[in-house]
Amino acid sequence: MNIERQPTKTKWHQTVTKFRNFPMVPRVVFGPGSFDQLGDILMPQRRHAEAPVIFLVDDFFEGKGLLNRIPAIFDDQIILISAEEEPKTIQVDALVAQIRKSFGATPSGIVGIGGGTVMDLAKAVAIMLNNEGTSADYQGWDLVNRPAVYHIGVPTLSGTGSEVSRTTVLNGPHRKLGINSDFTVFDQVVLDPDLTRDAPKEQWFFTGMDCYIHCVESLSGTYLNAFSQSYGEKAMELCEEVFLGNLNAAEQREKLMMASWHGGMSIAYSQVGVAHAISYGLSYVLGVRHGLGNCLVFRHLEEYYPKGVATFMKMQEKHGIVLPEGVCSSLSDQELEAMVQVSLGMEPLWENALGPDWKAVMTPDKLAGLFARI
Ligand code: ZN
């Protein structure tokens, strides 16, 4: 997701606001089986035999056929990544150190094959290979000085929108925050719906709901504009077809992949809202993964998103998804306080959701009460 400030509606027609000039993914290939074009896509990017391509791959694919289809040649390396936990700055720094130690030359490219976690790691590693210091130094907005190494995103789960965003969200030593920069955006994305075929049902649902929630939060936010609306409405329509309609499995995969893309484009020029702000606190303290965290939070937000929550409940019921209860019931006061502080720190999200006077609406006490229900 993208957590940048956006001109508010009242400022929209005034010249005082600087409009965001954001980069989009310059090249994208879409279609079932398109993954097999990856070798051809990489070939012109290879500088020489000693500058390898590094493939970061979700370890879910260990022992599966996809690994044999990765076009690794010369000194290329495949690094399996566990997506059990949200990506961390120390994990990025360790990967960069490992790659630097293994190869004399800077890699020709980084390819992230997986869900949001692996794609975000690939973006961050590509940035850090060309920038000094630790990745935690770059958490924030436009702090990256030098362009990243060429990097490709290959989603194997649909919904996060990471494939189109200019951020890579990392858990750092002090906070969960994205590296938001023009250099974060992938140089190429490969959208092959067949790669999502074997996703476990719950993971498929939670990640898909991330997209649905992006749409609800973008479309009901105060930052909404025609750009965001046009993508958000299409993404929401696709989500409803996928999760409530009667599509066949292939159509479902294709449409959810495009829903994710459009949902990501929608928040690129608006912002997410209450569910994401609270979910950030939850995952910072408890390590809950993003898609699940959003679902845990969203079902309690009928006060803010009545129609969206009702539809979410229908989707959950249709797919027989059971969410854990009492996730925050045994938290210490200290942990609860940390969650509240991390959440309230997501100011643009609150402002988008509740307007400029959001602090009067979402007080620390009110937020603590919401966490208690989760
Ligand atoms: Zn999200």
Domain residues of the chain, as ranges? Answer: 27-196, 201-373
CA of 162 to the centre of ligand 1 (A): 9
User: DSSP state, 257?
Assistant: H
From the options 2.30.30.40, 1.20.1090.10, 3.40.50.720, 1.20.120.450, give the CATH code of 201-373.
1.20.1090.10
341-345 LR contacts (CB < 8 Å, sep 24+): 341/281, 342/175, 342/176, 342/280, 342/281, 342/284, 342/285, 343/277, 343/278, 343/280, 343/281, 343/367, 344/277, 345/175
CA 24 / ligand 1 centre spacing (Å): 18
182 CA to centre of ligand 1 in angstroms: 19
For ligand 1, the distance from its centroid to the CA atom of residue 177, given in whole angstroms, is 12
Distance, CA 39 to ligand 1 centroid (Å)? 30
What number of helices (H) and strands (E) belong to the chain? 13, 9
Q: What values do phi and psi take at 224, rounded to 5?
A: -60, 140
Give the Å distance between the CA of 34 and the centre of ligand 1.
26
**Ligand 1 mean position to 290 CA, how many Å?**
7
Q: What is the pLDDT of residue 177?
A: 87
Q: Kind and range of the H or E element at 152?
A: strand 151-155
What's the gap in Å between 317 CA and the centre of ligand 1? 21
Alpha-helical (H) ranges within 75-200 are 89-102, 116-128
CA of 8 to the centre of ligand 1 (A): 21
Query: d(Cα 232, Cα 269) in Å, to the nearest integer?
Result: 10
Residue 340 Cα to ligand 1 middle (Å): 19
- The Å distance, Cα 351 to ligand 1 centre, comes to 17
What was the pLDDT predicted at 175? 81
Residues 69-92 pLDDT 10s = 999 999 999 999 999 989 999 999
Q: What is the spatial order of strands in the sheet that 140-141 belongs to?
A: 140-141, 176-180, 169-171
DSSP notation for 343-355: HHT-HHHHHHHH-
State how far Cα 198 lies from the chain centre: 20
Tell me the three state secondary structure of residue 225: coil
Which CATH number is associated with domain 27-196? 3.40.50.1970
Instruction: Determine the distance separating the centroid of ligand 1 and the alpha carbon of 260, expressed in angstroms.
Output: 10
Neighbours of 64 (CB within 10 A): 11
Q: How far apart, in Å, are the Cα atoms of 195 and each of 187, 190, 267, 308, 363?
A: 20, 10, 24, 29, 43
Per the CB < 8 A criterion, the answer to whether 337 and 302 are in contact is no
- Compute, in angstroms, the gap from residue 116 CA to the centroid of ligand 1: 9
- The reported pTM is 0.94
Residues of the chain with pLDDT under 50: 1-12, 14-15
- The per-residue pLDDT for 9 is 47
Residues in Cβ contact with 210 at an 8 Å cutoff, skipping those fewer than 6 apart:
116, 159, 160, 161, 290, 291, 294
pLDDT value at residue 7: 46
Separation of 247 CA from ligand 1 center, angstroms? 24
Q: Tell me how far the alpha carbon of residue 150 lies from the centroid of ligand 1, in angstroms.
A: 25
Expressed in angstroms and rounded, the spacing between residue 48 Cα and the centre of ligand 1 is 38
Q: For residue 374, what are the contacts with CB-CB under 8 A and spacing of at least 6?
A: 278, 282, 296, 297, 300, 327, 328
Cα–Cα separations (whole angstroms), residue 17 to 22, 226, 268: 15, 17, 17
Ligand 1 centroid–CA 344 distance in Å is 17
Separation of CA 163 and ligand 1 centre (Å)? 12
Contact yes or no for 215/263 (Cβ under 8 A):
yes
Cα of 100 vs centre of ligand 1, distance in Å, is 31
Distance 251 CA to ligand 1 centre (A): 23
The dihedral sign for the CA sequence 358, 363, 368, 374: negative
- d(CA 99, ligand 1 centre) in Å: 29
| String of DSSP letters for 83-115 | -SS--BHHHHHHHHHHHHHH-SSPPSEEEEEES
Cα of 109 vs centre of ligand 1, distance in Å, is 26
Which residues, in sequence order, are bridge partners of residue 13?
A: none
Distance 43 CA to ligand 1 centre (A): 33
**CA of residue 76 to ligand 1 center, whole Å:** 32
CA of 45 to the centre of ligand 1 (A): 31
Report how far ligand 1's centroid is from the alpha carbon of 293 (Å): 10
